[in-house]
Amino acid sequence: MSFLYHEFLFRPLFNLLVFIYNIVPGGDFGAAIILLTIVIRIIFTPLSIKALVSQKELSRLQPKIKELQDKHKNDKQALGQATMALYKEHNVNPFGGCLPLLIQLPVLIALYSALNSGLKPESLTALYSFISHPLAIKEIAFGFVDLTQKNAILAVSAGVLQWFQSKKAASFQAPVSKNEAPSAAFQMNKQMLYFFPIMVIIIAWNLPAGLTLYWVAATAFSIVEQIYINRKYR
């Protein structure tokens, strides 16, 4: 498994990263990280859109699911059958939002490893023969960001963007009427709106700036995706 991971995920992504670095004017590794992030996210955009649309469709069905839960509160089997029938009637896959994310996960892990290895000279041995071998990779990005060191500004930026992304994601949920008590899921999501960004800041605070820069770029791209989906699938 480690051989397959290295040869079919990590190595291609690492070579793509170095290739982009070689063609970026000025050889800016920070710019290469951002461009690689955009390329990967564009490739996975159809899956991401599918997940977001599935989430929105499930949210629209929440009032009907709540009615079924009240109707079959004493019969779990009947509730399950009625719920699946509702999904089938509206052509909704309850796992549609999870599967695309699971498919992306191995690639994201390999991308994370490629970024983590990018500034290590010994990692350049993984380059293909047709990829130009840089003598050294510059550790300073944009003229002032040391990609090998922690960066508080990028860490806070990652947390702020994560909060904004979570805020936009909340708009996919069905609104709660004034006479309806918020569901447990709604209350949990409301708490995560603030808890998760704080956790992102804590984690990013201790990461090299190169990895945090990827996190910032990926989250910014996700926000753009969410805005696009919200406008197209209202």
pLDDT digits (tens, 9 = 90+) for 205-217: 999 999 999 999 9
Quote the tokens at residue 178. 């004034």
First-residue to last-residue Cα distance in the chain = 43
> Of 7-11, 58-62, 81-85, 149-153, which gets the smallest average pLDDT?
58-62
Q: Report the pLDDT value the prediction gives residue 204, as an integer from 0 to 100.
A: 93
Enumerate residues 6+ apart whose C-beta is below 8 A from 223: 161, 164, 165, 168
Q: 3-class SS at 73?
A: coil
Average pLDDT over every residue of 29-39: 94
Where does the pLDDT of residue 26 fall: very low under 50, low under 70, confident under 90, or very high at 90 and above? confident
- For residues 223 and 232, give the distance between their C-alpha atoms in angstroms, rounded to a whole number: 14
- For residues 77 and 71, give the distance between their C-alpha atoms in angstroms, rounded to a whole number: 12
Q: Is the pLDDT of residue 83 over 60?
A: yes
Average pLDDT over every residue of 81-103: 79
Pairing of strands 140-141, 145-146: antiparallel
DSSP string, 110-130: HHHHHHHHTT-GGGGGG--TT
pLDDT digits (tens, 9 = 90+) for 136-181: 788 899 999 999 999 999 999 999 999 998 887 776 555 555 455 4
Q: Report the pLDDT value the prediction gives residue 200, as an integer from 0 to 100.
A: 92
Q: Report the pLDDT value the prediction gives residue 234, as an integer from 0 to 100.
A: 65
Average pLDDT over every residue of 42-68: 84
- For residues 87 and 85, give the distance between their C-alpha atoms in angstroms, rounded to a whole number: 5
Where does the pLDDT of residue 192 fall: very low under 50, low under 70, confident under 90, or very high at 90 and above? confident
DSSP state of 143: T
Q: Report the pLDDT value the prediction gives residue 186, as an integer from 0 to 100.
A: 54
* Strand residues in 14-159 grouped as ranges (E): 140-141, 145-146
Q: Report the pLDDT value the prediction gives residue 188, as an integer from 0 to 100.
A: 59
Q: Say what percent of the chain tops pLDDT 70.
A: 87
Q: Report the pLDDT value the prediction gives residue 40, as an integer from 0 to 100.
A: 92
For the chain, the average pLDDT equals 84
- Global pTM value: 0.82
